[in-house]
Structure 1
Amino acid sequence: MAFIGIMFLALNLRAPFTSLAPMLSQIMDDLSLTGPTAGFLTALPLLSFALVSPWAAAISRRLGLYPSLLLAVLLIGMGVVLRSMGSIFPLYLGTIMIGAGIATGNVLLPVVVKLNFPARISIVTSLYIFIMGAGSTLSSSIMVPISKFDVTMLNGWQFALLFNLIFPVLALLLWIPEVIKGSRKGGVRTSESQKEVTTRQLLKCPVAWQVTLAIGLNSFTFYSLAGWLPTMLGDIGYSDTQAGYLYGLLQFATMIPGLVLLPFLSRSTSQRWLISICAVSVFVALVGLLSLSQYAVIWVVLFGFANCATFIIGMSFIGLRTTSAAQAATLSGLSQSIGYALAATGPSLVGYFYTSTGTWSTSLVFIAIVALFCALFANLAARDQKVLERQHS
């Protein structure tokens, strides 16, 4: 039951977020939003991730792990409804609530995996991130067709965004019975280290920083490129339709690692060589897009695959580099808070470089340099060391 619950929760952790981008032009036209205003709307979930992630572990300690996950799903569901109401304030408020719910789920899901599948952390992490990608691809690809349906009292984009309610509803059908039954399996309340493991302690731990920067810089590269990819492709000669297909292909490519990595993760006791290859491949894809843009389809697929593969292995480190659920919860909150704070700055910096230079070359070089630093910290994080190992030895 825990495995199914993890998969259904994972459906909610990307789809309601990525489904906004295909509808953005319709929303801008209908609500008369300016470019900067719309850009802020797309950055709101990332800001929510950064602000809420540090508090997720504390919420779990107070409410219990499963009730906290139920709260996350409820926030996503209410946010989907508010975002679809058709006016500016609910649009922004709903987007913030969706971000808060996703942030809570992002932080606590690795804890559920560590508690329920301690010997299969990498495999289960790979599977649930595959489900995240599948939900995201499905949602993103059907938004435009759904928006063309003639629905009474709702604009096309409202109905399309409201369709995302199906994801939290499915998850609630599983999580509500678990909470009602008072299941305490997976509670983060059983270890004495629960009181001892603080964010301040982890901030002094090199291993925690290595995991945090590997995840954070990886997220930075993804959102920096994905946020501007259709515009980049349009400026180098691709039509709007072609750019849209390539953007969809990017989302699809993020699904594949969740399945391809399974045999490697199940057989290997060390992920150092694997994450190093994946992280460096992100750099290669960015250099390829910069220098051989006529083969964009190859570089987009390579970037999506390698970036997501790096993310999957990096997320598994939250469980592999900790010795308790309490440590995992705190490290998850720290890594994702800092990670998404970094990611939130990416699209703005890329836009600034483009505005200043009038070309995407500087932006792509910048993202590529960040990808190299990501590869460095990913390699360090892959060493078989535990957080606070010296303090507890």
Structure 2
Amino acid sequence: MKTNSSRAQQIPFTSWLAIIGILLLAANLRGPFTSLAPLLEQIMESLQLSTTITGLLSSLPLLTFAFISPLALPLLKYLQLKKSICFALFAILVGIGLRSAGHIALLCLGTVFIGIGVAIGNVLLPVAVKQSYPYRIAIVTSLYTFSMGFGSTLTSSLMVPLSHLNPSSLQGWQFALLFNLCLTIPALIFWLLKPSSSNAQSQSSSLPLAKVLRSKIAWQVTLALGFNSITFYAFAAWLPKILIDSGLAEAKAGYIYGLLQFATIWPGLVLIPLLAKLKSSQILILCTALGTVSAVIGLMLAPEFAVIWTILFGFCNCATFVITLSFIGLRTNNSHEAAALSAMSQSLGYLIATVGPPILGMVHAFTHSWNWALGVVVATGLVCAVFSGFAARDRKL
């Protein structure tokens, strides 16, 4: 009886450790990247960057996601879960420091380091959930999606106010970008001190990558995720600049951008429990994908209601992302296939997404109109809706 009682007390403690670690990791997987956009105007003026170069800078993390994501699985095999996650968080920490140094080369290098850490973290996060909560994946997925949105909302909304503090010899935007360390340092310390799990390595062996690459449904999930990502990152990268050019003050544009990140908090909490009850999510994902398109069209036609369109875009786009993310588990037969599909969809999906920000920058530079650039976002949103509908059919690999 005494042994059983001690085990009953130990299980909740280890469960709390696992969920805290997952949420701390998730909080660092969006904020360090999205926090750059509110400061683009200041960075462009400080470093004399063109809109095309700035668009390429916004795509560097996405390009890094594409090439680094497949490497997360062999890293997991040799380092196991805890050390792999610590590696990811340390890469993000180094990237934040380099990006804030005030030089274009270090800005790019730091952005690449952040991309490496986020790419590895994105792949490992579902592994951590599956390992610690194999029977509560939907609930924990909703929680870590919430944490990702919270982290990006906190950092993005504070960037412009922090940049006006301008302490010591740093420029304002450099000091603001360093604020991301407030999320990364606690997460890294927690994972360094967290006890290791003994079964992390088994998750990475015998991955059926060839089978996944030959699967039609795997490609549908990948393309749905890819065009969802290109829609979000292209829109998010230029939203503050679009709002400023439409006549809004920099601070107000920054707060509206913060609302975009705030709107991404809620879909996980709202939709994941709903998905558990629905027999088919096809109609739901089509509604959210088309809601994203409607929000962009609304911003083009009635920019004075930018707050409404931004919130609608953030909620619908993230809702589409959450549902598509659930397909990684729903369309696979076991954890090995799910891990392989996760690596494939995030690698190729983010490779697709890399073209978004620079294309919008080039379209604006050529046409001198943000409406033409937003038209590209509308087109990618419609393609996302098509592949999302296909991926939502009840099919297995």
Structure-to-structure mapping, 1:286-305, within 5 angstroms: 286-305=296-315
Distance in 2 between the 1:78 and 1:354 partners?
A: 33
Deviation at residue 2 of structure 1 after TM alignment: 1.6
Contact 1:12–1:102 (Cα < 8 Å) also in 2: yes
Instruction: Give the match for residue 67 of structure 1.
Output: 83
Structure-to-structure mapping, 1:1-393, within 5 angstroms: 1-149=17-165, 151-178=167-194, 181-185=195-199, 187-189=200-202, 194-198=205-209, 200-387=210-397
SS in 1 for 2:354: helix
Deviation at residue 166 of structure 1 after TM alignment: 1.8
Shift in CA distance, 202/8, structure 1 to aligned 2, threshold 3 Å: same
CA deviations on 1:84-133 (whole Å, 9 max, x unpaired) are: 23333332222111110000001111122233333332332222111111
Contact 1:53–1:104 (Cα < 8 Å) also in 2: yes
CA deviations on 1:167-208 (whole Å, 9 max, x unpaired) are: 121112321123xx44224x24268xx32512x332210111
Distance in 2 between the 1:236 and 1:31 partners?
A: 23
Distance in 2 between the 1:252 and 1:354 partners?
A: 27
Deviation at residue 141 of structure 1 after TM alignment: 1.4
Distance in 1 between the 2:360 and 2:92 partners?
A: 29
Identity score, percent: 50
SS in 2 for 1:350: helix
Aligned residue type for 2:268: G
Shift in CA distance, 365/102, structure 1 to aligned 2, threshold 3 Å: same
Distance in 2 between the 1:37 and 1:241 partners?
A: 23
Deviation at residue 153 of structure 1 after TM alignment: 4.1
Structure 2 gap ranges (5+): 1-16
Shift in CA distance, 143/190, structure 1 to aligned 2, threshold 3 Å: closer
Deviation at residue 150 of structure 1 after TM alignment: 5.1
SS in 2 for 1:105: helix
Shift in CA distance, 88/280, structure 1 to aligned 2, threshold 3 Å: closer
CA deviations on 1:215-240 (whole Å, 9 max, x unpaired) are: 11101111122222233334445454
Instruction: Give the match for residue 13 of structure 2.
Output: none
Contact 1:66–1:184 (Cα < 8 Å) also in 2: no
Contact 2:52–2:358 (Cα < 8 Å) also in 1: no
User: How many residues get paired?
Assistant: 381
Shift in CA distance, 87/270, structure 1 to aligned 2, threshold 3 Å: same
Structure 1 gap ranges (5+): 388-393
Contact 1:111–1:328 (Cα < 8 Å) also in 2: no
RMSD between aligned residues = 2.3
TM-score, normalization: structure 1? 0.89
Aligned residue type for 2:137: I
Distance in 2 between the 1:245 and 1:150 partners?
A: 19
Aligned residue type for 1:214: A
Aligned residue type for 1:21: A
Distance in 2 between the 1:302 and 1:20 partners?
A: 22
Distance in 2 between the 1:92 and 1:238 partners?
A: 28
Distance in 2 between the 1:228 and 1:98 partners?
A: 19
CA deviations on 1:241-274 (whole Å, 9 max, x unpaired) are: 4433332222221122133224413433543332
Distance in 1 between the 2:289 and 2:385 partners?
A: 5
Shift in CA distance, 188/364, structure 1 to aligned 2, threshold 3 Å: same
Aligned residue type for 1:184: S
Shift in CA distance, 70/357, structure 1 to aligned 2, threshold 3 Å: same
Distance in 2 between the 1:22 and 1:163 partners?
A: 14
Contact 2:34–2:237 (Cα < 8 Å) also in 1: no
Contact 1:188–1:325 (Cα < 8 Å) also in 2: no
Contact 1:215–1:335 (Cα < 8 Å) also in 2: yes
Shift in CA distance, 166/32, structure 1 to aligned 2, threshold 3 Å: same
TM-score, normalization: structure 2? 0.88
Deviation at residue 59 of structure 1 after TM alignment: 1.4
Distance in 1 between the 2:350 and 2:49 partners?
A: 25
Deviation at residue 62 of structure 1 after TM alignment: 2.2
Distance in 1 between the 2:54 and 2:296 partners?
A: 26
Distance in 1 between the 2:196 and 2:132 partners?
A: 17
Aligned residue type for 1:216: G
Distance in 1 between the 2:159 and 2:247 partners?
A: 25
